[in-house]
Structure 1
Amino acid sequence: MVLALHTDTDQDTFPTFCFGAGVFSGAYSPVVEAESHAAVRRALDRGVQLFDTSPYYGESERVLGDALRHAANAYPRQTYRISTKIGRYGLLRRDFDYSAERVRASVAESLRRLGTDYLDIVFCHDVEFVDEEMVLDQALPALFELKDKGVIRMVGISGYPLEVLLRIAEAQAARGRPLDILLSYCHYTLQNTRLAEYTPRFRAAGIRRLLNASPLSMGLLRDADAPAWHPVGAQMREVVAECARLCRERGRHLADLALQYAMAYTGADAIVVGCSTPKEVDCALAQFRATRHTSDVDQELLETVLAVLAPYRDYSWPSPPADA
């Protein structure tokens, strides 16, 4: 069954669920390629039509490309969309390159790894790490040039600070060619819903499609401890651990509650959810469909968890970090 699509009056459609292949980087758990391939195939079988990756996510592009090639007989290229990124290739500022030359080379490398001759979406990755002039004067013109040649279908930006995303979107719109799409992450979750405030402002800047990524806040909102590299401090980790304990007492998982909460937000066109196994695909899609069609949420538990998280409500950590 194909997942519901957003539809515009111009007959354009857009998937409402995006498979986040960043989990294939190994940053959250070890990668078993056979399971990764099976997860992609299960997603295709269940109607998923959009997959997001990046050169920054380790082997993600290659693993995703291999999985899609293995499924090609049943699912030819035109049956799904691929989203990837340019500009970020490591952890630190020195690992960013937004020059037009590198942008063109990066797109060519992604095409090769993903086994395709076009990309549906290309984002400038984590724009807050570079001078905005580089985004506007180098990277975006190169991407729009590739769009004009048919290599890319949609051009966008991604990043964490909403104010930076908005400033670049407005500046690009003022140049007469608005961005097609924008990806925000960790800003519509149990802990932070600031994306809702910015959504109409993004639309006013000409953004046609908005992706809400990382509903678990990069592995923070789950039963297990957040990854060691996560930017939040010890006190916030303790608060989240208390939320997880409260959920377990009710026979629930914090990650399930967090997914339901984020999936209920319809201001974005699609939600991006990382899935590393077929079981995770099934669980995510079951929650997505249930959330969109019912109000089956433990409201008492939700209110309790939100109250515990209240001291950190709408807190956004610094990005880039001071040591980047």
Structure 2
Amino acid sequence: MTTTTSSQQTVDQTEFKPSELGFGAGALSGTYDKIESHWPVEACREALRGGINVFDTSPYYGLSEFVLGDALETVRDEFPRSSYYIQTKVGRYGFTTKDFDYSAERVTNSVKESMRRLHTDYLDLVLCHDVEFVNFEDVVGPGGALEALFKLKEQGKIKYVGCSAYPLSIMLKIAEHQQAKGQPLDVILSYCHYTLQNTKLAEYTPKFRAAGVKYVANASPLGMALFRDAGPPEWHPAHAELRQAAKECAEYAREQGLNISELASMFSFTGRDTFQLNTTYIGLENKEDVQKALKAWKRVKAREQNLEKTTDLETKVLDKIRELLAPYKDYSWQSPTAKELA
């Protein structure tokens, strides 16, 4: 990932070469926090100047596609469409299982809608969103989502096809099925599975690659707000014991003068070096968020190159965090949740 301000900068158009740090644009929807009108443009410009070249969004993320599209359109003079990749999703349009539509017709129309919102005539990556919410055949079968996406890929409307989900086993089943039929997935997007608490993605990535998947990404290094200074939100799908342990981790880090979110982000960024993870997406709302994420990522890279050492204090705090989380190591919560099944 290199820093650039050149308007002539372009990303590789024949091979996906994402930056190690990806821009999670779900945060731009205003669903989590109130977004000031000037934040998205400033955040996108700062990200592109800092070397971030891939943006992740979805129709499910409220106004995210509209807001991201308008922001990228605003910075087009400095950063044309050819200087970044856009990843969006299809299939999920609301909170419960009733709000899913994996039919070929809906998927095709969804891609058209996304292109319109994002002010582009092609999409770099399109993923089936939260595949665990629908039947296996809806994803891989005739008239289903993947069939429609691969057809759009043949037409040049999209470049890479993939899936996203929380349960890793379900994505692996789909990946292996697609490889067996001679049409392997290009991309897998996992979330919350390479964090301080759960590192199962490291175990699954070689399996995905063996199933023909070229690109593996991780999202939500903070575990869906599990690791934040204020402690996890009440709505978090993890059980009460894990939420309490995460809260204690945040409190201990704070008492020692460190920030749990920064520690969690830095841990997740090590995935590139540890198991050849392609990209880690982190939710970014404003310019300051981008700067903090880039700073944390650069510190990780400096340590990998032996230009900076982990401090004794950090080692002490991380050891305590591991101790607090040990009873829940690699625990994965239910997805869909009971509320989402309603």
Q: Could you tell me the TM-score, scaled by structure 2's length?
A: 0.90
- Name whichever of 34-43 and 86-95 sits farther off: 34-43
- 1:113 is aligned to 117
**2:106 matched to 1:102?**
yes
In 2, Cα distance between equivalents of 1:237 and 1:11 = 40
Kept in 2: contact 1:3–1:17 (CA 8 A): no
Match of 1:264 among 243, 246, 270: 270
- What secondary structure does 2:221 align onto? coil
- What secondary structure does 1:300 align onto? helix
Kept in 2: contact 1:28–1:219 (CA 8 A): no
Amino acid at match of 1:281: V
- 1:161 is aligned to 167
- 1:302 is aligned to 318
In 2, Cα distance between equivalents of 1:133 and 1:316 = 24
- 2:2 is aligned to 2
Q: What residue ranges of structure 1 are gaps of 5+ in the alignment?
A: none
- 1:287 is aligned to 296
Per-residue deviation, residues 114-157 of structure 1 (Å, max 9, x unmatched) = 00000000000000000010100210010011011111000000
Kept in 1: contact 2:232–2:246 (CA 8 A): no
In 1, Cα distance between equivalents of 2:241 and 2:63 = 33
- 1:89 is aligned to 93
- 1:78 is aligned to 82
- Name whichever of 298-307 and 25-34 sits farther off: 25-34
- 1:318 is aligned to 334
Q: How many residues align?
A: 321
- 1:39 is aligned to 43
Moved over 2 A (4+): 1-4, 10-15, 25-28, 225-229
- 2:29 is aligned to 25
In 1, Cα distance between equivalents of 2:183 and 2:105 = 21
Match of 1:237 among 240, 243, 250: 243
The percent of aligned pairs where both chains have the same amino acid is: 49
- 1:274 is aligned to 283
- C-alpha displacement at 1:12, in angstroms? 5.7
In 2, Cα distance between equivalents of 1:39 and 1:11 = 26
CA spacing shift, 1:18–1:25, aligned 2, 3 Å: same
Q: CA RMSD in A?
A: 1.8
Q: Could you tell me the TM-score, scaled by structure 1's length?
A: 0.95
In 2, Cα distance between equivalents of 1:205 and 1:296 = 37
- C-alpha displacement at 1:26, in angstroms? 2.6
Kept in 1: contact 2:19–2:51 (CA 8 A): no
- 2:200 is aligned to 194
